[in-house]
Amino acid sequence: MLNNIKEISGILEVKSSGKGYVVSDKLEEDIFISKLKLNKAFNGDEVIAYVYKRRNKLGKIEGEIRRILKRKNKRFIGVLQSNNNFGFVNTRGRRMYTDFYIEKSQLKKYKNNDKVVVEYIDWPKKSENPNGKIIKSLGKYGNIGTELNAIINEYEIDEKFNKKVLEELKILGQTTKIKRKDFRNKLTFTIDPKDAKDFDDAISLEKIGKNLYEVGIHIADVTHFVKKGSLIDEEARKRATSVYLVDRVIPMLPEKISNELCSLRPKEDKYTFSAVYNMDNKGNIKKQWYGKTIINSNNRLTYEEAQKIIENKKEKGKLEKAIKILNIIAKEKREKRTEQGAIIFNKEEVKFELNKEKEPKKIFFKKQKEANKLIEEFMLLANKKVAEYVDSIISNKNFIYRVHDKPDEEKIKNLKEIIKRLGYEFKKEKNINGKEINRILKKAEGKKEKIIIESLVLRAMSKAEYTNNNIGHYGLAFKKYTHFTSPIRRYPDIVVHRILNNILNKEKGEENILKICKNSTSQEIRATQAERESIKMMQIKYMENKIGEKYYGTISGINERAIYVEINENKCEGRVRVNEIKNQKYWYNEKTHKLIEKRKGIEIQLGDKVKIKVKKADIYNRIMDFELLEVM
């Protein structure tokens, strides 16, 4: 296939080592580009690569960049290093290999060691560095607020709303001409995190017969205020999701909507869009109803308060009794989902206690308890039933589904090989279902390899996405699923509300479903990456004053260059460079994913317990270096 190819177009991917690969859909394998042959191309650029007929020592197709067709990024983030005559912005990092030259005239506004956003101007032929223009300073390098601002700029997330959007907010108010079903006399409450400001879902419960209950799942009626085609709507559509960083929330909707008008605060009349189900205490649905409603929440509970009610054997009043009934139903629903193959992870969430400067002073873990699972089950129920209801009436090409494809066969094969070496085995050879994965996860519960197996299973999974082509949700074991329950923080939910309302009122309305799905998926991926980077940043900041300290950890990743270790007590991850392991020489077995020291017969693999010493916490490159002291 290579014989006739001399030049090929593709996208350049630069690795942390500085080497690159050109990815092209015209070739089955990627083209290796050495550091010296990047020829001024940056990561993500669309390029033309010349392809050599020979292969390199590793057997890879090799080439060099000949032309840059299109720059992916024009703006970069780095640290300003200046003197009296000129400056450089050091942007070298995981995927960047050069600095930007800054002329003297630009340096007046900025200080040495400022973290800045620099814009690419050009890269003259005979110059070692590209020319840049500083756009703005993010603050002093190394300050945690500055570094988090850098993440926001890196992922091009807008923190502020423009003036026109804010002007439009002034005319919003809670007025209505539409008829709403009145739920204000029914026991209704919210259960949310302690620090939540926007409450977009509430639950009501009323007993209507022997072992028969009316359960109302009430969702903030965002579309009452956010009209299709308005400036607020266009901005929400563009953002597509709220972003949750460690120290802040960047909302999809302005605070007047998210924290005031639409937030289902207690003791206030609020407009909602509700899914109401008559069900028995096993969760079997006898009747369903959807429509616009008005509620008045009796109580605002935190997860901790709801958990105390669940754990307390005494029933004090109506609220306590309602929560216990709902918890019984939720447990039944969860058990049925598991039987049908829904994959259940019991992962702990990393949380931070911050000081006044918003620096991490403590890392702790939050595990989902019954109160969290109670809310989750009823939200899943509403999302599933709304999808089924709408799907039965209109063409699925005019609806937004939340789908999750089956795992990639190659990834499952790799997963099977690794867990077998850890003492676990799938019963089936092909078509591994959720039940089999749950069996493995349950078997690993409480064992040293639990973290690794969970991580490996997650890596093997496909990514969930929004689409108008329904293929079902593998992870939840649902044939039809959508997002209806969080319109304050997700744009697809707003569109689903509009579609459902049009059906109920026999009205027509058009949405560019495919465009909304693609944008919402890409914005969600970007938000998730930014959130993860903020967590990693806080972990590294926390470890900055722990240099020289020793910890026990678990090996979470291995390649030919490094061992990655997750510290047990705080889940901070760092690397041990293989060539820096004292008195031992290891080689990497790609098939078994092991490091092997032949002379002493030592093998290192995923899941092994180790003792390490912290060598370096590099907040700029977001990496920690450890010294390996002992393999347990």
299 in the same domain as 262: yes
Instruction: Say if 540 falls within a structural domain.
Output: no
- Are 423 and 553 part of one and the same domain? no
pLDDT at 171: 82
Calculate Rg over the CA atoms of the chain.
27
Average pLDDT over residues 269-285: 96
Average pLDDT over residues 258-267: 94
What pLDDT is stored for residue 4 in this prediction?
A: 62
Same domain, 567 and 503: no
As a whole number of angstroms, the distance between CA 228 and CA 246 comes to 32
- The answer as to whether 396 is a domain residue is yes
Residue 3 confidence (pLDDT): 57
- Residues forming a β-bridge with 55: 61
pLDDT averaged over every residue in the chain: 90
Contact predicate 136/116, CB 8 Å = yes
Q: How confident is the model over 444-455, as pLDDT tens digits?
A: 887 777 777 888
Contacts of 305 (CB under 8 A, 6+ apart): none
Which string of DSSP letters, residue by residue, matches 63-80?
A: EEEEEEEE-S-SEEEEEE
Q: Is 340 within a domain?
A: yes
Non-local CB neighbours of 514 within 8 Å, separated by 6+ positions: 468
Look at the alpha carbons of 475, 476, 482, 488 in this order and tell me if their dihedral is positive or negative: negative
The domain tally of the chain equals 5
In this structure, are 401 and 413 located in the same domain? no
Statement to judge: residues 253 and 367 lie in one domain? yes
pLDDT of amino acid 5: 67
For the ranges 53-67, 305-319, 564-578, which has the lowest average pLDDT? 53-67
Each residue of 453-482: pLDDT tens digit? Answer: 888 888 888 999 999 999 999 999 999 999
Task: Examine the domain organization and report whether 60 and 111 are in the same domain.
Answer: no
Strands (DSSP E) found in 381-494 = 401-403, 465-467
Assigned domain for 149 exists: no
- Say how many C-beta atoms besides its own lie within 10 A of residue 431's C-beta: 9
Instruction: Identify whether residues 413 and 395 lie together within a single domain.
Output: no
What integer pLDDT is reported at residue 430 of this predicted model?
Answer: 67
Domain hosting 97: range is: 75-141
pLDDT at position 557, please? 86
For the segment 362-373, the average pLDDT, to the nearest whole number, is 91
Mean pLDDT of 214-229: 96
370 shares its domain with 237 = yes
Distance CA 504, CA 500 (A): 6
Q: Which two tokens stand for residue 522?
A: 């890409």
Return the DSSP state at 405: P
Mean pLDDT computed over 302-322: 90
Q: Are residues 342 and 440 in the same domain?
A: no
Judged on CB neighbours under 10 Å (0-12, 13-18, 19+), 289 is middle
448 located within any domain: yes
The residue out of 396, 430, 460 marking a domain boundary is 460
Q: Which of 480, 509, 534 is the last residue of a domain?
A: 534
Q: What is the CATH number of the domain that holds 132?
A: 2.40.50.700
**Residues 246 and 339 both lie in one domain:** yes
- Confidence (pTM): 0.90
Say which residues have a Cβ less than 8 Å from residue 49's Cβ, sequence separation at least 6.
7, 8, 9, 10, 12, 22, 24, 31, 33, 63, 64, 65, 66
Largest CA distance in the chain: 85
Residue 604 scores a pLDDT above 90: no
Residue 169 lies in a domain: yes
Q: Is 544 left (phi over 0), alpha (psi -120 to 50) or beta?
A: alpha
Judge contact between 63 and 31, C-beta under 8 A.
yes
Domain boundary among 484, 500, 534: 534
**Torsion angle in degrees (nearest 10) through CA of 95, 99, 105, 106:** 20
Across the range 547-570, mean pLDDT stands at 91
pLDDT tens, position by position, 482-510? 999 999 999 999 999 999 999 999 998 88
Same-domain status, 191 and 322: yes
Give the model confidence (pLDDT) of 84-132 as tens digits.
Answer: 889 999 988 778 889 999 999 989 889 999 999 999 999 998 899 999 9
Determine the pLDDT at residue 417: 78
Give yes or no: residues 399 and 414 share one domain: no
Would you say residue 261 lies in a domain? yes
Where b means 16+ CB within 10 Å and e means fewer, 240-252 reads bbbbebbeebbbb
Q: Could you tell me the pLDDT band of residue 42, with boundaries at 50, 70 and 90? A: very high
CATH code, 562: 2.40.50.140
Per-residue pLDDT at 28: 80
With respect to residue 155, please indicate whether it lies within any of the assigned structural domains: no
CA 26, CA 28: separation in Å to the nearest integer?
Answer: 7
